[in-house]
Amino acid sequence: MTDPLRQFALQTWISCKIGSWWIPLTNGAFFMIIACATPLILLSWGLRGKNLVPSRFQALCEWPLAFIQSMLGDVHLEERYLSFILTIFIFVFMGNFLGMLPYGFTFTSHIVTTFTLAISIFILITLWGLVLHRGKFFRLFCPAGVPKSLLILLIPIEVLSYLSRPISLSVRLFANMMAGHTMLKVFAGFSVMMGMWGVAPLILNIILVGFEILVAFLQAYVFSILSCLYLKDVLTLH
């Protein structure tokens, strides 16, 4: 049976040298480009008309916008953050979903990718909070109404909790995608090994594919909603 972890291996497809720098194009980088370019092309094409009575394709393209607008409304965030959260959601979902396609690659199954995305969001949100609140930003680590005798214990806990956010974001996404795709590969290997007797594992594998597509969506949703909540904390200092 094929090694189920082999699907996560990075491969250099193209490598070019600029001065003293080697710049490789890996399968991970290629599918990141696909994850960015495909939604951009589809949304630009589907929303170019802005018809009052939308076509089916336009309605499909408008669904992510409506979904993220609803998400922002649930956490009471202004719509000016729509583009930011929409970009996060689509990029993570595409990263999860592309690995479900034949010969696809799940770049969100690499901790270096998910952590880079999470720490970038964390730094951007923190800098935005500092710009908005300046010194008052640090009230985030000192909840109102707490007795002063507890602040010595509470402030380090709040700081540690705040700094752990990019770690929890990245590990949750990475672990779920790697575990799910590994399980799919294992059951697919069983189906091939059993030949004509592998009908039951094949049916189970089809069910698991549907479940994994659902997980791909849910993990993108969780990553996005947590980003919304972290942004809301910084904006309101709660």
Domain span at 206? 6-236
The full DSSP string for the chain is ---TTGGG---EEEEEEETTEEEEEEHHHHHHHHHHHHHHHHHHHHTSS--SS--HHHHHHHHHHHHHHHHHHHTT--GGGHHHHHHHHHHHHHHHHHTTSTT---GGGSHHHHHHHHHHHHHHHHHHHHHHHGGGGGGGGS-TT--HHHHHHHHHHHHHHHHTHHHHHHHHHHHHHHHHHHHHHHHHHHHHHHGGG-HHHHHHHHHHHHHHHHHHHHHHHHHHHHHHHHHHHHHHT-
pLDDT top residue among 55 and 214: 214
- The answer to whether residue 55 is domain-embedded is yes
Count of domains forming the chain: 1
88 found inside a domain: yes
The residue written with tokens 């189920």 in the block is: 4
How far, in Å, are 6, 26, 99, 119, 172 from residue 30 at the CA level? 18, 6, 12, 22, 23
Lowest mean pLDDT among 10-14, 140-144, 163-167: 140-144
> What's the confidence (pLDDT) of residue 72?
94
pLDDT, average across residues 214-235: 94
pLDDT at residue 159 greater than cutoff 60 = yes
Q: How far is Cα 169 from Cα 235, in angstroms, rounded to an integer?
A: 19
Is 133 part of any domain? yes
Using one digit for the tens of pLDDT, what is the confidence trace for 17-27?
777 788 888 99
- Judged against a pLDDT cut of 60, whether residue 196 lies above it is answered with no
Q: What is the predicted pLDDT for the residue at 50? A: 67
Q: Is residue 190 part of a domain?
A: yes
* Residue 197, pLDDT above cutoff 70: no
Residue 228 in domain: yes
What's the average model confidence in pLDDT over 107-133?
95
| pLDDT exceeds cutoff 90 at 139 | no
Query: In this predicted structure, what is the pLDDT of residue 110?
Result: 92
pLDDT for 15 equals 83
The C-alpha atoms of residue 52 and residue 121 are separated, in whole angstroms, by 35
Q: Is the residue at 232 inside a domain?
A: yes
What value does the mean pLDDT of the chain take? 87
> What's the pTM value of the predicted model, to 2 decimals?
0.89
Q: Give a yes or no: residue 1 inside a domain.
A: no
> pLDDT-based confidence at 195, cuts 50/70/90?
low
Task: Decide if 220 is inside a domain.
Answer: yes
